């Protein structure tokens, strides 16, 4: 699973509290993704962060199928 932060981010930090090590707050005060691919054992945390983001700033990146 891959995730990204969209332009809705307000830097509230909910994602870092839910999925520390997957998300962090950057120097600009906004969330950033710190892993290229979410490890299988952390997918539940990443999905909780997606659901818990108050401004829907976290999106799952759908991988293209060939």
Best CA proximity match to 55, nearest among 15, 22, 27: 15
> What global pTM score does this model have?
0.89
The CATH architecture that domain 2-61 belongs to is 2-Layer Sandwich (3.30)
Per-residue confidence in pLDDT tens, the chain, 66 aa: 999 999 999 999 999 999 999 999 999 999 999 999 999 999 999 999 999 999 999 999 987 766
């Amino acid at each position: 699973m891959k995730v990204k932060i969209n332009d809705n981010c307000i830097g509230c930090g909910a994602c870092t509290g839910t999925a520390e090590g997957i998300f962090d707050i950057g120097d600009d005060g906004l969330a950033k993704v710190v892993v290229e691919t979410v490890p299988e054992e952390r997918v539940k945390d990443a999905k909780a962060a997606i659901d818990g983001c108050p401004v829907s700033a976290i999106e799952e990146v759908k991988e293209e199928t060939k």
